[in-house]
A and B are shown apart, each in its own frame.
Chain A
């Protein structure tokens, strides 16, 4: 703990204020994590302090029903604002008259085999998507890439055995694996940042920034830069860190003897990392994408906005999943609740096929997975954006509406802001019980999609 505080530029002496820890020291993120800022009436809301101080903690919760230390619960009673306080920090919930309930619809997702990337990989977490490239192996090395949209296939020269994948890039760390490949280029960039060791887990990248876990630190660097920062940490081996823009996250084992694995994050403007989830239980397999961080717990999968702290956890049986796939706030994982292993995503897309489906990797409507000895690519017929999605900005109150998808809609409409994969998509808006086709949007960047009726939209790939 002391290390953590010192790492934030604070000494224990500075942190003490009249016998109490200062808010800045105890909650370095300076905010609470809330399961929903716009819950419906009667909905259960969980609030957690990303707490760095000593235990037992005394957050002095206010506005909650049940105090579990750094975690608290309340059940909303009536529409209107509700303020929750802990450690002098506050979060205001806007309780809505209505709320979406029930599962999201599961689109059909026909799958096709990708033989080019079906060869055995030394690391069973592969193949994976990096941007729109399905990265696979030639039996040993991660040297094959197939574009899921165009079908282009390339064989990478001198590719590494266990790369970090993300943003369309492969980054290999250490003397043996060194290099940076950006398919369709088959050769490594001469500017690839060189690290002196391979680390204790595969590196992570978002295509611009890289991160590598070593025994007593997490290194963060620009993939094609020269500088490297070293963050004091005791990251988990085998589980790679995660990078998304200015944020890096990792699974921390510094207090594993007490808490099990925790999740730590760090913004590039901070000197050191800070706990995002630090409590009993195994929070593991961190992933990050486009401003969101996700992780796996024993009986849940969680996604949180780095900036706002709004956190969605869904009850799940991720079992011994080897990783979590994240596309924005959409998480996909292996589901162990059935007779066999299936793949499910937080936006409703699910592959419940005979046999085991494993190793999901998602971008847009494309979901790469393994089945038997094959790598398959499922393409969702459509993807749904619901009005309680973390990417949705409702303009008014959420009202009950039996005709709306999942029984509620946002009055005054909702705007969805999301990073679209390349290609053309037809926007279908939910109006009453029908889906009404609208304009065609071109992917490849951040799109703003307006839903004046305040209900869900579907994005269907243009044929």
Chain B
């Protein structure tokens, strides 16, 4: 056989395989993937890619020459703030979003020099193993609590009202929302999966950049070790396919540190501001980046650092100004709940296993050994590799000067996290730095020491991937259309029956209050309140309005309330005295029960959730 004949035969065989692939899926009488699932996924991917490419073009045009991550995340940060302005102006409509996407994409016309990412075989293998479940998560109907009360609920509201909501009736939307405006934009183009797919694209680019950066700064296999440590941690891996703001904050934080180490000050300010606006818990990483930039410069650099600080704050201040303009505390909803000065947004003591000196000293041990994904004991799971790498980190700090800035930044970020709630999710903004610290340890350790880290990582996988992959397998059937979406929602979304009642049986313009209830994303009616942290909005309403709480809601036109029964348990607040626990938690819930009995009619009840109807909108 001649080489030409052989090539032709190969081409024909490949065409045959492709034809069989199409035929097998198109003509299968009981297809593995339903006809509806493919266009839904394709539309979602298109919606995510449009904004990812637009952001990359914009970021590339601003930076000129940069890494893919640098361009993508700078452009995303700029777009996030620009879209916030659009929403504030009440112009958050499809045509306006289209205009913004086209304008940002014009950045490509300037032919920015963006490094093309490359991936070796090992990288592809890891990407496939971890990317497949993350992709299923992204394509599945949202059921994660934070997604359905906040990260997707805010974008859905943005699209519904074409502008900003906020204040006491929509406290979640008063947060800084740079990623949420992008999620809304993606959702507008690509539907429900688009925000999660955009987050997944960010995750893939961020991880790739982490690996490259680790290898570049610390030498191989530091980058790979960093990325694998994160992927081997439940708390990180689980969020890849969800629409959250922890990982975007982490990538912006990493880029800020990178800019600080490499002396790119304007980029430092921009990325630091974006990280901070994305998630206030990125503050320790931002401080670490600034300290790196400041090292060795002394007091003479104070004006420069102050200017850089102002540059960073420029990305956050618009959200503060907006809150102030609406009469709220700039940091609302984290602070400044009016009329209830004592109300605490988050009790740090609630998470972890204690906050005594010994507990803090043993924190690296406790957060690995005692963490649980389903309880307030850190509410997550991380790979034990970080713990096993501690001696190696010490060795790297001593023996490898290049590793010292990274190790110092990681240590500072960790201490900053330890000062706040011991919730592993809050550690995510520091995760890339902590991964790089593991990478530094891996390069410093002898080969058998690295083997110990690998063994630890592998042994830790079941604890981390079990709680991730188990639920993901259930989602897979829904993603391909083999199981009904409704069944998954009914099983996982708390109060789904009540929400379904609202969507199916109430007037299309009925105004709904969510009291002690999370799933705002699925409410297809204008709604107020909703839950944050320990159900602060509903508790605040009851604490400040007392017996007039429902009257106040009815005066606002609320005719239905979805009410969850929390049954606050004292033992989950052991740090509160009985009197305070009763005043802040059990009394408001009990008062609501009594008010509902007096003023409402229950029209639906399922488990702990009920739909109450009020006679009319005005008392």
Taken residue by residue from 473 to 504, chain B's Cβ proximity to chain A (1 for < 8 Å, 0 otherwise) reads as 00000000000000000000000010011001
Neighbouring B residues of A125 by C-beta, 8 Å: 605
Interface size class of A (residues with CB under 8 A): 10 to 19
Q: Is the CB of B604 within 8 A of A319?
A: no
Neighbouring A residues of B597 by C-beta, 8 Å: 319-320, 336, 341
Measured CB to CB, the closest approach of chain B to A387, in angstroms, equals 35
Interface residues of B in 598-619 (CB under 8 A from A): 598, 600-607, 612-613, 615
Q: Is the CB of A284 within 8 A of B603?
A: yes
Q: Is A124 an interface residue (CB 8 A)?
A: yes
Q: Is A270 an interface residue (CB 8 A)?
A: no
Neighbouring B residues of A236 by C-beta, 8 Å: 505, 603
Neighbouring A residues of B605 by C-beta, 8 Å: 123-125, 238, 322
Q: Is A55 an interface residue (CB 8 A)?
A: no
Taken residue by residue from 223 to 255, chain A's Cβ proximity to chain B (1 for < 8 Å, 0 otherwise) reads as 000000000000011110000000000000100
B501, B505, B613 interface centre (most CB from chain A within 10 Å): B505
Known: A122-B607, A320-B597. A237 touches B505 (CB 8 A): yes
Neighbouring B residues of A124 by C-beta, 8 Å: 605
Neighbouring A residues of B607 by C-beta, 8 Å: 122
- Docked pose: A49 CA to B500 CA in angstroms: 34
Neighbouring B residues of A322 by C-beta, 8 Å: 602, 605
- Which one of A122, A238, A320 lies within 8 Å of B596 (CB-CB)? A320
Q: Is B507 an interface residue (CB 8 A)?
A: yes
Taken residue by residue from 19 to 36, chain B's Cβ proximity to chain A (1 for < 8 Å, 0 otherwise) reads as 000000000000000000
Q: Is the CB of A282 within 8 A of B601?
A: yes
- Docked pose: A341 CA to B602 CA in angstroms: 15
- Docked pose: A253 CA to B603 CA in angstroms: 12
Neighbouring A residues of B606 by C-beta, 8 Å: 238
Neighbouring A residues of B504 by C-beta, 8 Å: 237
Q: Is the CB of A320 within 8 A of B501?
A: no
- Docked pose: A284 CA to B605 CA in angstroms: 14
- Docked pose: A260 CA to B602 CA in angstroms: 14
- Docked pose: A106 CA to B155 CA in angstroms: 59
Q: Is A191 an interface residue (CB 8 A)?
A: no
Q: Is the CB of A319 within 8 A of B601?
A: yes
Which B-chain residue is minimally distant from A260 (CB atoms)? B613
- Docked pose: A322 CA to B613 CA in angstroms: 13
Measured CB to CB, the closest approach of chain B to A110, in angstroms, equals 27
Number of B residues, CB within 8 Å of A: 20
- Docked pose: A282 CA to B600 CA in angstroms: 12
- Docked pose: A336 CA to B593 CA in angstroms: 13
- Docked pose: A239 CA to B611 CA in angstroms: 12
Measured CB to CB, the closest approach of chain A to B282, in angstroms, equals 42
Taken residue by residue from 347 to 385, chain A's Cβ proximity to chain B (1 for < 8 Å, 0 otherwise) reads as 000000000000000000000000000000000000000
Interface residues of A in 48-106 (CB under 8 A from B): none
Neighbouring A residues of B603 by C-beta, 8 Å: 236, 238-239, 284
Measured CB to CB, the closest approach of chain B to A199, in angstroms, equals 12
- Docked pose: A124 CA to B615 CA in angstroms: 23
Which A-chain residue is minimally distant from B500 (CB atoms)? A237
Known: A238-B606, A320-B596. A298 touches B601 (CB 8 A): yes
- Docked pose: A124 CA to B605 CA in angstroms: 9
Q: Is the CB of B612 within 8 A of A320?
A: yes
- Docked pose: A237 CA to B505 CA in angstroms: 9
Interface residues of A in 26-56 (CB under 8 A from B): none
- Docked pose: A395 CA to B507 CA in angstroms: 51
Neighbouring A residues of B604 by C-beta, 8 Å: 237-238
Neighbouring A residues of B613 by C-beta, 8 Å: 282
Neighbouring B residues of A253 by C-beta, 8 Å: 505
Neighbouring A residues of B596 by C-beta, 8 Å: 320
Measured CB to CB, the closest approach of chain B to A342, in angstroms, equals 12
Neighbouring B residues of A237 by C-beta, 8 Å: 497, 500-501, 504-505, 604
Interface residues of A in 108-140 (CB under 8 A from B): 122-125
- Which one of A257, A282, A284, A320 lies within 8 Å of B507 (CB-CB)? A257
Neighbouring A residues of B501 by C-beta, 8 Å: 237-238
Taken residue by residue from 296 to 312, chain A's Cβ proximity to chain B (1 for < 8 Å, 0 otherwise) reads as 00100000000000000
Taken residue by residue from 316 to 356, chain A's Cβ proximity to chain B (1 for < 8 Å, 0 otherwise) reads as 00011010000000000000100001000000000000000
Neighbouring B residues of A320 by C-beta, 8 Å: 596-597, 600-602, 612
Q: Is A256 an interface residue (CB 8 A)?
A: yes
Which B-chain residue is minimally distant from A162 (CB atoms)? B606
Taken residue by residue from 577 to 607, chain B's Cβ proximity to chain A (1 for < 8 Å, 0 otherwise) reads as 0000000000000000000111011111111
Neighbouring B residues of A298 by C-beta, 8 Å: 601, 615
Interface residues of A in 271-289 (CB under 8 A from B): 282, 284
B500, B598, B605, B612 interface centre (most CB from chain A within 10 Å): B605
Neighbouring A residues of B612 by C-beta, 8 Å: 320
B600, B601, B612 interface centre (most CB from chain A within 10 Å): B601
Which B-chain residue is minimally distant from A238 (CB atoms)? B604
- Docked pose: A68 CA to B596 CA in angstroms: 32
- Docked pose: A320 CA to B605 CA in angstroms: 11
- Docked pose: A336 CA to B604 CA in angstroms: 19
Which B-chain residue is minimally distant from A253 (CB atoms)? B505
- Docked pose: A93 CA to B97 CA in angstroms: 71
Measured CB to CB, the closest approach of chain A to B477, in angstroms, equals 17
A124, A125, A237, A282 interface centre (most CB from chain B within 10 Å): A237
Which B-chain residue is minimally distant from A123 (CB atoms)? B605
- Docked pose: A256 CA to B504 CA in angstroms: 11
Measured CB to CB, the closest approach of chain B to A176, in angstroms, equals 11
Which B-chain residue is minimally distant from A318 (CB atoms)? B601
Which B-chain residue is minimally distant from A341 (CB atoms)? B597
Measured CB to CB, the closest approach of chain B to A343, in angstroms, equals 14
- Docked pose: A298 CA to B599 CA in angstroms: 11
Which B-chain residue is minimally distant from A201 (CB atoms)? B604
Neighbouring A residues of B602 by C-beta, 8 Å: 320, 322
A123, A239, A284, A320 interface centre (most CB from chain B within 10 Å): A320
Measured CB to CB, the closest approach of chain B to A332, in angstroms, equals 18
Neighbouring A residues of B505 by C-beta, 8 Å: 236-237, 253, 256
- Docked pose: A206 CA to B597 CA in angstroms: 30
Which A-chain residue is minimally distant from B604 (CB atoms)? A238
- Docked pose: A341 CA to B597 CA in angstroms: 9
Measured CB to CB, the closest approach of chain B to A119, in angstroms, equals 16
- Docked pose: A236 CA to B613 CA in angstroms: 14
Measured CB to CB, the closest approach of chain B to A52, in angstroms, equals 22
Measured CB to CB, the closest approach of chain A to B497, in angstroms, equals 8
- Docked pose: A256 CA to B601 CA in angstroms: 15
- Docked pose: A257 CA to B601 CA in angstroms: 17
- Docked pose: A284 CA to B596 CA in angstroms: 18
- Docked pose: A341 CA to B593 CA in angstroms: 12
Neighbouring B residues of A123 by C-beta, 8 Å: 605
- Docked pose: A257 CA to B615 CA in angstroms: 14
Measured CB to CB, the closest approach of chain A to B611, in angstroms, equals 8
Which A-chain residue is minimally distant from B605 (CB atoms)? A238
- Docked pose: A298 CA to B607 CA in angstroms: 24
Which B-chain residue is minimally distant from A257 (CB atoms)? B507
Neighbouring B residues of A319 by C-beta, 8 Å: 597-598, 601
- Docked pose: A257 CA to B505 CA in angstroms: 9
- Docked pose: A257 CA to B506 CA in angstroms: 8
Which A-chain residue is minimally distant from B611 (CB atoms)? A238
Q: Is the CB of B507 within 8 A of A336?
A: no
Neighbouring B residues of A257 by C-beta, 8 Å: 507
Q: List 12 A-B contacts (CB under 8 A).
A: A237-B504, A237-B604, A238-B497, A238-B605, A253-B505, A284-B601, A284-B603, A298-B601, A298-B615, A319-B597, A320-B597, A320-B612
Closest CB pairs A-B (n = 6): A320-B602, A238-B604, A320-B601, A237-B501, A320-B600, A257-B507
Q: A238-B605, A257-B507, A322-B605 are in contact. List 13 more A-B contacts (CB 8 A).
A: A237-B501, A237-B505, A237-B604, A238-B603, A238-B606, A239-B603, A256-B505, A320-B600, A320-B601, A322-B602, A336-B597, A336-B598, A341-B597
B-to-A contact residues, CB < 8 Å: 497, 500-501, 504-505, 507, 596-598, 600-607, 612-613, 615
